Each structure stands twice: as C-alpha cells, then as structure tokens.
Amino acid sequence: METVKEKKKGTDSKKAIKISGAEAIIHCLLAEGVETMYGYPGGAIMPVYDELYKFQDKLTHILTRHEQGATHAAQGYARVSGRVGVAIATSGPGATNLVTGLADAQIDSTPMVCITGQVTRHLLGTDAFQETDIIGISTPVTKWNYQITEASEIPEVMAKAFYIAKSGRPGPVLIDITKNAQIDKFDFSYKKCTGVRSYKPVPKPEMSAIQAAADLINSAKKPFIVWGQGVILGQAEKELKELVEKANIPAAWTIMGASALDTAHPLNVGMVGMHGNYGPNLMTNECDVLLAIGMRFDDRVTGRLEDYAKQAKVLHFEIDPAEINKNVHADVAVLGNSKDTLGLILPLVNENKHEAWHNIFKEKYKIEYDTIIKNDIHPTKDGLTMGEVIEEINLASNNKAVIVSDVGQHQMIACRYAKFSQSKSNITSGGLGTMGFALPAAIGAKMGAMDREVVAIIGDGGFQMTIQELGVIFQHKVPVKIVVLNNEHLGMVRQWQELFFEKRYASTVMVNPDFVKIAESYSIEAKRISERKDLKSTIQEMMASKEPYFLEVKVEQEDNVFPMIPSGASVSEVRLK
C-alpha cells in the first residue's frame, strides 16, 4: 500500500529535446516545482498518465475517488502550502466534474491549475464520445483557460497557466489538451513565464492614496479594521500586526482572513458577518474610519448594503481594481499587494490609544459571552454542543491545528470558536459554500503541511457528499483527523426553517448510515461519542494518534448558531437569539 512521501523537485528544461506532448506536460510540471497532484484517469488523458507512471520517483499522483475531490484536495494543498494546487482529469464527465472546484477556487482566490484531456483535434465539434466543451463551460469560473490542439503549444501555455494562477489575485486556470497533442512529438524546451502582455497582476501603489489613508487613520476617533484573505495571500501578516499595534486599532476578520492575526491577540476583536461576533458587527456602523484590507465586501459581511458603514470614511486596501467600489464606495482606494501597501503606510501612521473605543468592544463581547458563548463552549444542558467540541480541539492542539471546515452550522461554529496561533490555519469554502469540501480539502492540506495536525470539521450532510474520499486516506495512509458533528439534520437549513419558515422542516432530516462502520471498513480507527464525560479523553486520544482517525460526535439536534444577521438585514440588526 502506498504511503505519502516526498519527491525530488524538478528543474527548468532549457535544452531542446524531442519528446511527446504527454511527456512534455510532466516536464512542465516538474519545472514549476510540482511534487503532488490529484486526479482521475480516463481515455482522453491516458497518454499523460502513461508518462506519470514513468516519473513516479519525482511526481506523486493521488488517485481521488471523484474528480471533484481532486479539485478540493488541490485547493486544500494550495491554501495551506501557499503553492499552486494541481488537478487532472479526462474529457467529458471527468472535466465537468471539476467545475464545482473551479468555481470554489475562483471565488476564494485559490491558485490552481487543472489539466483535462480532450478528444482528438479532428473530432472537436462532432459530439464524439466523452467530448464536452469544457472551455465554454469553465470560462465563467476560471481566471484563464485555454485549449491546446498542437503539442508545440504545451510549454508556453503551461508556463503561462502557472504564472496566471499564482500572480496577483490568485485563481484557477484550466488547460484542455487534445489527445493528438499529447501523442505528437516536438522539440521541447521550457522557460518559466514572468509576464503576460496587457496583464498587470499587481497595481503599483500610489503614494498620494497612501498618504490620504494615513491622514484619515491619524485623525480617526473610532477606527476599525476588517481584514480578509488578501492579507494571507499577500503574506502581510507581520505588517497587519504592526499596523494594529502601532495605531491601536481594533481589528476583525472575515472567515477567509481568519488566522492572519493570532486569535489571542488583544486587538483581535473577532469575526464579522452573518454569524460573526456581536461587537464587530455592531461597531461597523459606529466607526468613523473603516479600513478594509484584502477583503471584497461580500454580502454575508455587509448585510443590507444601503445601511453598511454609511457614517464612516472607507479605506479599501485591495490588489484587484475590479473590487473597488463594486459593493461599497471607497473614500480612499489603496491599490497593490497588501504587504507592500501596509509596509508603505506604517511609517506614516501615528501611535494612538483609543481606550474608550476599545472599551465598547469589551462591553459588547461581555454581552455576547454571557448570552451565547458561555452556553456554546461551557454548556450546562445534557446534550453535547458543537462549540464545546471545537474548544476541546483547541486545548488538545494548543491552538496549532489546521482546521478544515465544511459548510453549514458546524462551519460557522468552527470559524467562531477555533483558536489560531499560526497563519494559513483556517481552510474553508467561503464564497461558494460548497458542501463536501472539507474531507478532500483536509487530505490536500495534510499533504501540503505534513508537519502540522489537520482536523476536518464536517456535518453529517456534507460528509456524505464526498465520503468516498475516505479511500484516499486508506490507500495513502494520510494521517488526517476527521470529526463529524452529527445532528441528524441539514443544520443550517433547519435553523432557517425554524426561524423564518415556522418550523416546516422540509427535507432537512437526515437518516444516516453507521459512519463508524464505514470508516472502519477503510481501516481507519473510528469512535462515536454522545456524552460529555467521554469528550475530552477521546479528543486527546484522537490528537495524539499518528494515524488517520475518525470521530463521530452526536450533538444537539436543534441547536442554533447565534449571533445572526438575518438575510437582507443590516449589520446593526444582529440577533443574539
């Protein structure tokens, strides 16, 4: 049985050699430093897989059990490692099964290159067996895509694909390669791409905007920072921390920005958004200067747009010009990589205190703690809560685990209560909200950071969407920890039905199989608990294990996640119950 192992890095190929297109693809991947890729073979991509077989000592291919699993695994790998994730599939249904992962990576700015096989060039447009126009299908959900029909195109297109995927605001790229282009031979040489005409991935910061932003920060009485994933993608964690501390500004995060600043930092005031913390949501509409750093003003963060931060001067630090004024008007737009722009503004920002302003956040947190948090993580009722499970994982991991969450109530609970002391520790499907994301993404995350503990937090609904990827854990002995929080419902939909549809629980009750037996059938150590007395010791046992581990926790069936901003409401209308 195969185990996960390290591979030697590839090098640039500069001298021309006559090889097939399929072999050229492998040499391109090695030249880009790819060590691990995820995929599923089929007829139209068979020549590439034949070459992969010959390069097993340099390039690890992980056979996922579904092509969607390959994309999510590549996403998890990319998000935790900071490198480009790679997925590969055949034509037709193999290619279309990648679309959800492409869409997920596009909206969450994840660098990924997907390679698909295609029918032979002369069959294009004939409705040949397993022919699908994946270029047309994937255009709306990729940063760039291209169909290769001649072998000689491969080096230049592959180099461009990796450059576009990882430069500027990252995203997914799809390269479709006809079978004849894989088989034909040509004189191969490879040169990495360092630029594309008319594509300017990183805008040059303007000092006038930097100065204007600094002036507003220095004059502010109630400044507030909301940061997103742009801080992590820009590797600006150090600069964010220095800005927060120098100007003494309370700072909150979107779910994609979580872990850029230690959750224990005294100026980290929590999460914004639909299920974010009470104080940060309310104070968005009380601050006088709002610094939005590497975030895109998603509707789950802003609530009703016409009532969002209207009293504040908005400073938008952003790498993508398309995001400026798209949802929220920016009084000052600071374009550029967040590491660069924050580095430039730091010397211009004055030291400050803002004690009265900070006290308001503390008061709001106490209200939220007494009303919600205390009952979530230290409950007195008999049934187990999702919050106390996350808290035990925090304690057992010393706040150092990578938490990969699926989508639903458990995702919001994990994002609210997981504690992070290291960046790139919160991996989730933010913009698309893809159920089934967590299991394959956790596999990829573990392979991207073998030295870190990776814990997947999944609901009983999402788990069954990609449950087949347990086979990857079985085959490759990936030591990931899987926690299924089982409330026997599609919990988030059920919560909405309870609050807004008079408890008409239409199609949200889950009749589940025996998850423990399923995990055990894949030779994964598995346990189920339903009582508080077993929680701490079982979590400790799971975290101490060096092998894959599956834990099902039976939690309260009708627990709700609060605070909550109802859909279409203002952030000022956040509900505590």
In this structure, what are the phi and psi dihedrals at residue 549, rounded to the nearest 5 degrees? Answer: -145, 135
Q: In the chain, pLDDT over 90 holds for what percent of residues?
A: 95
Residue 2 in this model has a pLDDT that exceeds 90: no
- The helix/strand/coil state of 82 is coil
| Sign of the torsion formed by the C-alpha atoms of 293, 296, 299 and 303 | positive
Annotated catalytic residue, options 23, 51, 67, 453: 67
In this structure, what are the phi and psi dihedrals at residue 351, rounded to the nearest 5 degrees? Answer: -70, 145
Annotated catalytic residue, options 130, 235, 422, 468: 130
Is 492 known to be catalytic? yes
pLDDT, the chain, mean: 96
Is 67 known to be catalytic? yes
Q: Which of 1-10, 127-136, 248-257, 543-552 has the lowest mean pLDDT?
A: 1-10
Residue 573 in this model has a pLDDT that exceeds 60: yes
- The confidence score (pLDDT) of residue 17 equals 87
Q: Which CATH number fits domain 207-361: 3.30.70.1400, 3.40.50.1220, 1.10.3720.10, 3.20.20.70?
A: 3.40.50.1220
Which residues have a Cβ under 8 Å from the Cβ of 104 and sit 6 or more positions away?
71, 72, 75, 110, 429, 431, 432, 434, 437
- The confidence score (pLDDT) of residue 191 equals 96
Residue 7 in this model has a pLDDT that exceeds 80: no
Residue 176 in this model has a pLDDT that exceeds 60: yes
- The helix/strand/coil state of 369 is helix
Residue 10 in this model has a pLDDT that exceeds 90: no
Predicted confidence band of residue 381 (pLDDT cuts 50, 70, 90): confident
Query: What residues pair up with 526 in beta bridges, in sequence order?
Result: 550
The CA-atom distances, in angstroms, between 346 and each of 135, 238, 353 are 44, 11, 16
423's tokens = 């960046």
| Sign of the torsion formed by the C-alpha atoms of 272, 274, 276 and 280 | positive
Q: Each residue of 528-553: pLDDT tens digit? A: 999 999 999 999 999 999 999 999 99
Query: What are the extents of the domains in the chain?
Result: 17-188, 207-361, 378-554
- The confidence score (pLDDT) of residue 311 equals 97
Among 460, 465, 471, CA closest to 515? 460
Is the distance from CB of 325 to CB of 297 less than 8 angstroms?
Answer: no
- pTM exceeding the 0.85 threshold for the entire prediction: yes
Count of beta carbons in the 10 Å neighbourhood of residue 264: 10
Annotated catalytic residue, options 8, 56, 129, 531: 129
Is 179 known to be catalytic? yes
> Is it true that 17-188 and 378-554 share their CATH fold?
yes
Count of beta carbons in the 10 Å neighbourhood of residue 247: 23
Predicted confidence band of residue 16 (pLDDT cuts 50, 70, 90): confident
Q: Each residue of 79-99: pLDDT tens digit? A: 999 999 999 999 999 999 999
Q: Each residue of 97-143: pLDDT tens digit? A: 999 999 999 999 999 999 999 999 999 999 999 999 999 999 999 99
Report CA dihedral (360, 362, 368, 373) to the nearest 10 degrees.
170
Residue 432 in this model has a pLDDT that exceeds 60: yes
Q: Which CATH number fits domain 17-188: 3.40.50.970, 3.40.50.720, 3.30.230.20, 3.40.50.300?
A: 3.40.50.970
Residue 1 in this model has a pLDDT that exceeds 90: no
Which residues have a Cβ under 8 Å from the Cβ of 107 and sit 6 or more positions away?
430, 431, 432
What 8-state DSSP symbol labels residue 140?
G
Q: What is the CATH number of domain 378-554?
A: 3.40.50.970
Annotated catalytic residue, options 143, 160, 166, 179: 179
Residue 11 in this model has a pLDDT that exceeds 50: no
Is 2 known to be catalytic? no
Is the distance from CB of 380 to CB of 275 less than 8 angstroms?
Answer: no
Residue 4 in this model has a pLDDT that exceeds 60: no
| Mean pLDDT computed over 255-276 | 97
Annotated catalytic residue, options 112, 492, 542, 564: 492
Predicted confidence band of residue 14 (pLDDT cuts 50, 70, 90): low
Q: Each residue of 296-345: pLDDT tens digit? A: 999 999 999 999 999 999 999 999 999 999 999 999 999 999 999 999 99
Residue 527 in this model has a pLDDT that exceeds 60: yes
In this structure, what are the phi and psi dihedrals at residue 87, rounded to the nearest 5 degrees? Answer: -130, 150
Q: Residue 382 burial by CB count (10 A; 0-12/13-18/19+): exposed, middle or buried? A: exposed
Is 118 known to be catalytic? no
Among 445, 447, 443, CA closest to 468? 443
Omega of the bond leading into 566 within 30 degrees of 0 (cis): no
Residue 267 in this model has a pLDDT that exceeds 80: yes
